[in-house]
Structure formats: C-alpha cells, structure tokens
Structure 1
Amino acid sequence: MAAATFPFCWMFLMRIGRLSWLALLSVAVCGAVPNVTLAAEAESVGEIVSRLVSASRIYDKRQMRSASDRLVEIGAEAVPGLMSVVDDVDDNVRWQAIAALGRIGRPAASVSVPLMTAACADRDADVRGAAAVALGQMRVKEVAAVRAVRLLRRDEQPMVRADAWWAWWQATGDRKAITELVDLLSAKDWLASSHASHHLSTVGTPAVKVLVEKMIAGPSRDRRQVAETLRRMGPRAVTAIPKLLRVLDGKDRHVAAAAARVLGAQGAAAVIGLRDRLDAPRADTRRLAVVALGEIGPPASSAAGKMAGRLEFVDGRELLQLVTALGRIGSKATVAVPGLVVVLKHSHRDSRGAACEALGRIGSAAHGATEALSAVAEGDPVDFVRRAAQRANAEIIRQRAGQVAEKLNPETNPVPDDLRE
C-alpha cells in the first residue's frame, strides 16, 4: 500500500509547485505555517500611483479605492506622484488623482492648488467636479480658484454644479449655496441629487431649517431624499427635533415616516419627545415613535418601560416593530424581559422569532428567559424560530459565563450587582 501511494504523493508535490511544497514541509516539521509572508515587500509610492493609474484605466473601483486610500494615508510623500498624473490622457486617471489630492488636503497638497484650479476647466465632468470638491476640502480662497469655482456653479452638468456650490460654501460661507444644493436634491440626474445630499450632510446645522421646510412642504417625490440628508447629519440636525415631532403627529403618513427616520438619528436628544408620542391617539404616530426609538438604540433606555408596557396591548405589525425596537435598545431594556417571554408563545411565527432575537440582544440581563427559550428551541414548529431561540440562549449563556469569570478575577472589570455576593 505504501509503495503504491508514494508515486502518487510525489506527483502531487510536483504539481502544486515548489513554494507550496516548502509550505507543506514547514507544516510537517514545525506543525504550523511559518510566520513568513511570501508576498512582495511593501509597495513604494510610485508603485501605488501606478496601481491607481492602472485601476483607473479599466475602472476597477475596488482597486481604485484601495490605492487612493493608501496614498491618502501616506500623505505628503504621495503628492508629487499624484501631481505627475493630473494631466494624464485618461479622464478617470485625472479624476482619481485630483480626488486623492483633495483628500490629502492642506498643508501637504497645497502645492497642487494651481493644478486643481486649471482642472476646473477640464473637458470631463467628473474631473471638473472632483477639482471643485478638492478646492472645497482645502477651503482654498485664492482669487483664481474662487473664480474657477464661481464659473462651475453654472456648469452644464448638474452634478458639477452641486460640487461647485458646496465648494463655494466652503470658501465663502454664502448661504445661497445651501438653497441651491437643496434645490439640486430634486434633480432628475441621480448623481446630482446624491452629491447634493452628501454635501448638505457635511454642511450640517446651517442647512437644517431649509431642509425641514422642504421635507414638510416640498414635492412628495423629494421627501425621502431630504429625510435621508437630514438623517446623515445625525445629532447636527438636533434643532429640527421640535418641528419633526409635530410632523410625526400629522395626518400625512409619508411626511411623518420621513420625520421618524430623521428622529431616529438624533440620539438621546429625541428620546423624551418620542417617548411622549407612545401615548398618542393615532396608531401611526405610536408606531413611528417606536421605530425611531429602536433606531436610537441604547440611549432610548428611558423609554423601555413604557414600550414594554405596551407589549400586551398590540398585535401584528405594531407588535413586531415594538419587539424589534426593544431588542435594539439591548441590555438596558431588561424591564421588557417578562413581556418578551410572553411573546415567545405568540401565534405568529415572526413575533416569536423577533422575541427570541430581542432577548438575545438584551443578553445576560435576560438570563431569566433561558428556560423559556430552551422550550422554544426544542418545541417550536418553525425552524427559523427554533434557531433564533438557540442563538439567543447561547448569547445569554456566553455573557453570563464572561461575567462569572470577571467575578473570579475582579481586577478586569466591575462585577454586575446581581452577581455580587
């Protein structure tokens, strides 16, 4: 048997090649793969620039981003190499080089400002837009650069206009730029709308009032994009909370849903107002408040008690959203554990599955639910519910074991009160 096997093994080793053979030998001798990489040494700046150029020529987005990120990380040393390809014959190469220089920013890339200014007149729209954005990122206020950006505000391409108005805001603080960007959210060109939304989200608080007004009174087709822009701002849109809460009470369900998405990104500042809406007479208002509180997560823990108290009074979609929101609040929603255990016996499988997941997210604080979860894991007629119960129990047990270990070694972390002797 051994004699017959040897020729086969030899042919196998020859087929896999010398390097793989050496790796296998190392495993046989040392018991592990050697801690030596066979990859080439770290790339030089020139090689990374070449990689960016090659990826840009074939529009390999992953490699473009990888090379660009690496050059931005390198910083000042990458600037000369990037400047050397700003006048490349390929539009994509010029675009990517300028975008990387803008991300490197001041002071390292300040020397490239004249090239960026000239690129504002490039024949390619992506290059013109990238040049405007780069000048905006560096807040360039040189006369020639500001003049170039001013001209781009009237560019034939709406995407370029969006980039130019943002750069104009960065350089001058002119509030007209905000109005123009808000108007561009309605552009039929999705790139223009997307760029305008991104730029407004970086403008932050100064743009909030105009955006809220457009969300409430503007065309219905624009509301989602406006709401998404405000949501991207996060807590910087906090000044809009009172008006958004009033909108949540309104009869226009689409506007109310948009307001809920924004409120869910405001963190602790929106919790009190949303908690009060849990008692609203309109079911839609209550439901949207629950969803927003779930989006806020752990900072919404002060609303967990009121939310838990509603578990026995709701059903269907409203119950599912309530259970999901409590799970997102996580370990600070301990008060909801008894109610969630009851939901484990609900007639609808989605509600049972959501309750399992919520208990797992609450974690060790839900240790009183392990017996009920075990019963679901063994006896529920639906496979995904059984698996959800198993995962929840495993997570609760894992966290409890970790807390016991911390109790035995108190120097690592404080021990929860319920585990102290």
Structure 2
Amino acid sequence: MGDQAATSELLHRLLTALGNSDPRVKSTACQALAKIGEKAATSEVINRLISALGDHDSWVSCKACEALGKMGEKAATSEVINRLSSALGDSDESVRRRACEALGKMGEKAATSEVINRLIGALKDHHSWVSWKACEALGKMGEKAPTSEVINRLISALGNSDESVRRRACETLGKMGEKAATSEVINRLISALGDTNRWVRSGACEALGKMGEKAATSEVINRLISALGDSDIFVTWSACEALGRISEKAATSEVINRLISALGDSDRSIRSGACEALGKMGEKAATSEVINRLSSALGDSDESVRRRACEALGNMGEKAVTSEVINRLISALEDSDGSVRSSACEALGKMGEKAAASEVINPLISALEDNDEMIRWRACEALGNMGEKAATSEVINRLISALEDNDEMIRWRACEALGKMGEKAATSEVINRLISALDDSSRSVRSSTYEALGKMGEKAAISEVINRLISALEDNDEMIRWRACEALDKMGEKAATSEVINRLISALEDNDGMVRWRACEVLGKMGEKAATSEVINRLISALEDSDGSVRSSACQALGKMGEEAATSEVINRLSSVLGDSLNTECADISN
C-alpha cells in the first residue's frame, strides 16, 4: 500500500473514532490527527474537529483545539476561527488555553476583529495560563494585532499580579515593535524595568530594544544603563542587547563607559552581550579605549566572548585598525574554536585594504585550506574585500585552487574574490579557470563567474570569453542572462562584435525587464560601434516598453550613439512617445 493510500486509510479510521461514544477514544483520535498535522487537514476532518470542539467532555474539546492548531493556516477557515473564538469563553480553563494556542498558531489568518477582541478579553482571565497564552497569540498575529485597544489591554497586563502574564505582555509588545512604541507603552516598560521578577525586567529590556530608535529616549537609555548593574545576569545581558539594538542613539559616552565596564564582568554572557552591543554601535563606539578593551577580549577564556569581540572590531571597520588589533586578530585565526577563526577572518575582511599587510594575507592564505568550510569561505571573502592589495601571485593561485572546492559557497566566494581584484588578477590562467567555472553545477557560482569576468574588463575580453557570454544571453536562467549583459557592458567596445550586437538586439525582447534594461545599457556603452539602423530601430521600439527603467535606458542608449542616432525619426519618436517627462533625459541626442 502506498503512502497516500495508507494515510487515507488512517484518516478514515480516525474519523470513525471521532464518532465513538467513549471520550477516551475521541481524544486519542484528536491526538493522532494533531501528530499528522497539515496532512490531515481535509474538509471532512476539519468539520469533525469543529464538532468535537463542542463535546460535553472538556478533554476532547482540548484535544480538538490542539489538532486544529497543529494544522495551522490550512485549518484556518472562517468557521474554525469562529468556533475557536467561541471556545475562548468555555467554562473550562484548559479549553480556553488551548483555543488561545490554536488561534496563535493560525497567525495573521486568525486575526479578525472578533478574535482580537476575544483575546483582549482573555488577557483578564483569572487563570494566569490563559492570560499568558492570549498574550502569546496576540504576539504571533503580528502586524494585524497592534490596535490601540490591544495595546491598552497589554499595558494593563503589565500590572497583572501574575508575573508570567506581565512577562508575556512585555514579550508581545516587543513583537509588535515600533507599532507599539507609544509614550504610554514606553513609560510602562520603563516601570517594568523595576519589577520584582527578573524575567519581567529582562522582558522589558528586550521589548524596549525591539522598538528600536523609537524607544531611544534619554530616559530609556538611562534606565537601560542602570539595568546593566542589575543583580541578575539575564537582566544585564538583555540590557546590553537592548542598547545594541537602539545602537547609534544609545552610543553616548556614558553608555559606552558602562559597556566597557561590562567587558570585565565575571559572567561570560554579560561580557559577550557588551561586545555585541558595542559592535552594533559600530564606528560611533570606536574610541581608543573601546578598541583596546575589545582587543583584550580576543584573549577571553570564553569562545563566545572572543567571537563577539571579533565581530565588534569588524563592525568598527578601518577605525579599529591598530597594529595590536591586527596582531590579535591574526592570532585569533588559529583559535581552537572554529566560530572564532571564522569571525576573525570576517573582521579582517571588513577592515579592507588597511589590513592588507603580508602578515595578515599569509594567515588568510593558510585559512583557505582550513578543514572548516565556513573559515575557507570567510578567508575568500576577506581576501576579496582587500581587493588589488591582496592580489599577490600566491593568493591568486590559492583562489584558483578554491574554484574546485567541494563546497559551492567557497567556489562562489573564490570567484567573487578574484573579481574584486579586477585586472590585477586577470592572468590567462585565472581567465581560463573562470571559463571552466561557467559550467559549474551551481547557479550562484556561474552567476559569480560572469560577474568576475566582467570586473576584469577588457583584459578578459578574449574571443572565448565573449563567445561564452554570447551563449549565456540565451540561458534559461534570467540571472545568468542579466550577468552576461553586465559582463559585456564592462568589457566596452572590445566586446562590440557584430555577433554580440545581434544577440543584444534579441535581448531587447527578453521576458525579464532587468535583462532588457541591461541590454539597452550595453548597447549604449558600445556607442557609435553599435549604432546600426537595426539597433536604433529596436531601441526606438524599446521607448514604448512596459518597464520604465527599460524606457529610460533605451533613451540614454540612443543619446550615447551620437549623430548616428540623431535622425528626425528618432527625435520625433522621443517627443511623441516619451513626452515632457523624459525629454530632459534624452536632450543630449538633439544637441
């Protein structure tokens, strides 16, 4: 019996079980349907579960709610939503709780005004589990839920006597983000920072952080600074994270000084959180003291702190480039933890050409042979970001080898790195290996290869490359066709053969607007060499393209063809087709 037949047979038996008089049999059938989930969401099953919601046995009703919830949006019919909404008023708190959970799992599809109003009412339920699950459901409904009434009820929930409800109210307001960031909400969350329960204080920090710069008032920042000194490590960590989220506005000297102090905390999660917050503030936090302390953190006993310190220094970019930082990051390339080595590669890459000294490049060359593919990937990326300064013969040879790595992400990054090195990397061997990479099984590698050849410009404009680009203009993948146009664009007049021009003419009728736009651009760059009567006529037709960017690009292309295109027919068509709105763009044709 096939899988489909087996499932059909099982569903038939479970439907029969739902009609059994024994509540235990019915509840077991509901549990089984919950485990099957979306695959069980046929109209017949859903109708039987709707009936089970009204069962005289509350345990059966609970399990029916659970099954419908596990079926998610597939079960979110208007009838199901209405019945679950009614179940929020059930006399049994377990049914009310399960109904909240089910509606939450159906997400925005369940976010009708009636459901939202019933969930708002459930926030006042005398059973804390129901209030908690109502908060959670409102949060899962996302952007549809932040009405003023919902927000006001959540504000009230922040004063609930049950700490779990207060915590969930914080969490839900945080999920609503900037939409919930009213002055009253912010003030109540500020008050919640002084709650007796650590999870509520932590949740208030997180909510303020998720509201971003809208919540970044001086009072909020000052209270989050105070929270850095909380006796509970989770609160301190959440305060660090919140300050990082509101980043630039929070990058005051007082905040930075408190985060510097947190770098020396005895708890590793606080040290890690402080690194993360400083990193999110980027260059604004890149004082010499911060850089020195982050440099010291690269030697922390905890790998998560070392990793976050690498990330923070990387985010500060060239401003963090001191000899000490570079030396410490070089040492981090040999860290026992793979994530630290990877982050050190990334940080050096973000520092760009300023970090492109031989003592940095040599360890990155070694990293290209690391057993961890993420580190090889980051090493390619870092060398690429250093550009021509890293384009030594040894680097180029190692990147050529990386073009044959088993991991497609590394092959892709190696192509990208060679492209960023431009004409300095455009040796005959590199070009030949890139030509081979055009046949890679990975779409992202092929796309990156076309891009790399384009960045090498005229040096890569040999007949074999041009022939491959011509073929690529007819590839089934629009991304490849687009990249081929882009590469020809960068090769300029050297690629302006009659065959290329003919293929570009065909590309003017491509199904993809981006390809048509690029084809216009390339023909424009080729200038008078491409100014045949056929090209001009096809560009005139492109002036009526449905895509505005294509029309604009065709207009500019005609302008770059000079006198050859300045015929009365072209000028008249420009005037009649484009009107005054684009005539300015094309004025150079008639000059």
For this structure pair, what is the TM-score category when the shorter chain's length is used for normalisation? 0.5 to 0.7
Q: 1:395 aligns with which of 406, 413, 434?
A: 413
Q: Is 1:368 the counterpart of 2:368 in the alignment?
A: no
Q: Is the 8 A contact 1:290 1:325 kept in 2?
A: no
Shift in CA distance, 299/370, structure 1 to aligned 2, threshold 3 Å: farther
* Correspondence for 2:146: 138
State the alpha-carbon separation in 1 of the partners of residues 183 and 360 from structure 2: 55
Q: Tell me the TM-score normalised to structure 1 length.
A: 0.59
| Residues 1:324 and 2:332 are matched in the alignment | no
Q: Equivalents in 2 of 1:330, 1:418: separation in Å?
A: 28
| Inter-CA distance 150–272: structure 2 relative to 1 (3 Å threshold) | closer
Match of 2:31 in 1: none
Paired residue for 2:273?
258
Matched-pair contact (CA < 8 Å) for 1:295–1:325: yes
Counterpart contact for 2:280–2:315, Cα < 8 Å: no
Deviation at 1:215, TM superposition (A): 0.7
Q: Which amino acid aligns with 2:146?
A: M
Matched, 1:280 2:292: yes
Q: Structure 1's 172 and 357: CA in aligned 2 closer, same or farther, altered over 3 A? A: closer
Which residue, 238, 256, 264 being the options, matches 1:245?
256
1:225 aligned residue (238, 247, 250):
238
Tell me the amino acid that sits aligned with residue 253 of structure 1. G
Q: Distance in 1 between matches of 2:400 and 2:256?
A: 41
Residue 413 of structure 1 and its aligned partner are, at CA, apart by 3.8
Which residue, out of 221, 225, 229, partners 1:208? Answer: 221
**Counterpart of 1:368 in structure 2: which amino acid?**
A
Among candidates 98, 111, 127, match of residue 130 of structure 2: 127
User: Are positions 1:340 and 2:369 aligned together?
Assistant: no
Q: Is contact 2:262-2:274 (8 Å) kept?
A: no
CA–CA distance in structure 2, aligned partners of residues 149 and 251 of structure 1 = 31
Q: 1:146 to 1:55 in 2, by over 3 A?
A: same
Number of residue pairs matched by the alignment: 362
Does the aligned pair in 2 maintain the 1:345–1:352 contact within 8 Å? no
Task: Choose 1 or 2 for highest CA Rg.
Answer: 2
On the 8 A contact 2:295/2:309 being kept in 1, the answer is no
Which of 67, 73, 77 is 2:72 aligned to?
Answer: 67
1:80 partnered with 2:82: yes
Query: In structure 1, what is the equivalent of residue 577 of structure 2?
Result: none
The equivalent position to 1:110 in structure 2, one of 97, 105, 113, is: 113
Distance 1:371 1:77 in 2: 68
Whose relative contact order is higher, 1 or 2, with alpha carbons under 8 Å and at least 6 apart? 1
Change (3 A) 1:411 1:293: farther
Q: Is the 8 A contact 1:121 1:128 kept in 2?
A: yes
Change (3 A) 1:85 1:356: same
Tell me if 1:161 matches 2:174.
no
Counterpart residue identity of residue 160, structure 2: R
SS of 2:280's partner is coil
Q: What is the CA distance between 1:199 and its match in structure 2?
A: 3.1
* Deviation, structure 1 residue 164: 4.4
Whether contact under 8 Å (1:344, 1:351) holds in the other structure is: no
Query: Quick one: distance in 2 between partners of 1:372 and 1:154?
Result: 63
Calculate percent identity across the aligned residue pairs.
12
Task: Name the SS for the 1:265 alignment partner.
Answer: helix
1:96 aligns with 2:95: no
Q: Give per-residue Cα distances to partners, 1:156-209, cap 9 Å, x unaligned.
A: 3x110233467898787155522343235952xx6x566545433344425433
TM superposition shift of 1:128: 0.9
TM-superposition CA deviations, 1:372-409 (whole Å, max 9, x none) = 5967999xxxxxxxx89997567304764232454655
Cα distance change on mapping 1:140 and 1:323 into 2, 3 Å: closer
Change (3 A) 1:116 1:393: closer
**Aligned match of 1:7:** none
Say if 1:151 and 1:340 are closer, same or farther in 2 by CA, change over 3 A: closer
Deviations, residues 222-278 of structure 1 (Å, cap 9, x unaligned): 3223323444xx246632453332234448612654322212234xxx224326447
Q: What RMSD, in angstroms, separates the aligned Cα atoms of the two structures?
A: 5.8
Q: Counterparts of 2:184 and 2:109 in 1: how far apart (Å)? A: 22
> Which piece of structure 1 moves more, 405-414 or 176-185?
405-414
CA distance in 1, matches of 2:79, 2:221: 39
Q: TM-score, normalised by structure 2?
A: 0.45
Shift of 1:94: 1.9
3-state SS of paired residue (1:226): helix
Find the residue that maps to 1:155 and give its secondary structure. Answer: coil
Shift in CA distance, 244/102, structure 1 to aligned 2, threshold 3 Å: same
Matched residue, 1:182 = 193
Closer/same/farther in 2, CA of residues 147 and 353 from structure 1, 3 Å limit: closer
- The one-letter code sitting in structure 2 at the alignment partner of 1:226 is A
Question: Aligned letter for 1:327?
Answer: E
Q: What is the DSSP-based 3-state SS (H/G/I as helix, E as strand, rest coil) of the residue aligned with 2:160? A: coil
Question: 1:67 Cα deviation (Å)?
Answer: 0.7
